[in-house]
Amino acid sequence: MSEPLLDVRDLRTEFVTDDGIVRAVDGVSFTVEPGQVLGIVGESGSGKSVTCLTVMGLNDRKLSRSTGEVLFRGQDLLHASGHRLREVRGNEIAMIFQDPMTSLNPVHKIGRQLAEAVLLHQDVSRKQAYERAREMLKAVGIPRAERRIDDYPHQFSGGMRQRVMIAMALINNPDLIIADEPTTALDVTTQAQILALLKRLQEDFGSAVILITHDLGVVAETADDVMVMYAAHIVERGPVRAIFNEPRHPYTWGLMGSLPRLDVNVERLYQIPGQPPSLLNPPAGCRFHPRCAYAMPVCREKEPRLTLVPGDPDHAQACHLDEETKRREAAALLAQITAGAAT
């Protein structure tokens, strides 16, 4: 079998705060194959963004500690030099953030920022770099790209700025794009356009994508595989069809039950009760137990391990419930959702 593009093994990241140690990522392992789209889903504070910032080497090394391995094409980025990480970032791995204004420099024209991203990593002339910038602006659907290359970021709408960020991410044809809540700040229509654009360009360019989102609906159309995170752990992972058709974890059921649907009119969407735990002092046993309607005594004592779903070597979940109950409850939830009764 060929080597995965990204192979994250037993990743742990902790931050030292005045109140104690926050274990933001706690024993996370996953792989990304070339051209694969992996959706990482979970509420705020689940560890999904910190996982990806650690992969990129973007955590403050003075305030955080990470252990494990982040093998990118076989090379461990967790222990790579600052020089090597700068080579990788923006060239082999690119990142798209929720708010493009945090990544775009407000005092420089868009064309200059795109061209400089090319010049930083490629041996081309300034003229060729600007030509590439123009091509990319056209590829992401910026109207009148020839003229807009001379505009500043504030002259673009939110959706257009996110298109510029996608152009910036793809401009050096990276092997992996990490998109962290790329559409959260956008209205629903623009969100759908940006996701469709990202998917089309991902297919054209052949890049792998890690798509981080709190919204399970965002990954439904975009991802090949889904990893659900809760309180710094992976609680379920599998191909998108398995997660949507045969979800096996009560937290995933909660996320699915809270999805808005166009074909079903509900007065109020379901909400998972309670809040995610503090990672300074997470609950013992299953970290989801204070919010879980199915919690049993064992859930308060013993941490469930991520194990394969019987009969599906690609689908894994971490829950003490027996298989029969999981199957029955998942089927009941899907039936409720279909009937529009998930209120």
Cβ pair 252, 243 in contact under 8 A: yes
Residue carrying structure tokens 């140690």: 21
CA pair distance 260, 111, nearest whole angstrom = 38
Residue (237 or 320) nearer to ligand SF4, CB:
320
Rg (CA), the chain: 21
Q: Cβ 131 to ligand SF4, closest distance in Å? A: 54
- The minimum distance between CB 290 and ligand SF4, in angstroms, equals 8
| Shortest Cβ 299–ligand SF4 spacing (Å) | 3
Please report how close the Cβ of residue 281 comes to ligand SF4 at its closest, in angstroms. 18
Nearer to ligand SF4, 45 or 100 (CB): 45
Min separation Cβ 309 and ligand SF4, Å: 14
Who's near 301: CB < 8 A, 6+ residues apart?
Answer: 284, 285
**Nearer Cβ to ligand SF4 (21/296):** 296
Closer residue to ligand SF4 in complex, CB, 174/250: 250
| Sequence-separated contacts (24+) of 257-260 with Cβ below 8 Å | 257/333, 257/336, 257/337, 257/342, 259/215, 259/216, 259/217, 259/337, 260/217
User: Sheet of 64-72: strands edge to edge?
Assistant: 20-32, 6-17, 64-72, 75-76
Task: Report in angstroms how near the CB of residue 277 gets to ligand SF4 at its nearest.
Answer: 12
Between the CA of residue 66 and those of 13, 87, 132, what are the distances in Å? Answer: 4, 21, 37
Q: Which is nearer to ligand SF4, 121 or 315 (CB)?
A: 315
Give the nearest distance from C-beta 294 to ligand SF4 in angstroms.
4
> Which residues of this protein are in contact with ligand SF4, per CB under 6 A?
250, 286, 288-289, 292, 294-296, 299, 304, 319-321
Residue (132 or 320) nearer to ligand SF4, CB = 320
User: Which residues make beta-bridge pairs with 210?
Assistant: 38, 178
One-letter amino acid for residue 137 of the chain:
L
**Residue placing its CB nearer to ligand SF4 in the complex, 158 or 290:** 290
Assign 3-state DSSP to the chain and report helix, strand, coil percentages, each to 5.
35, 25, 40
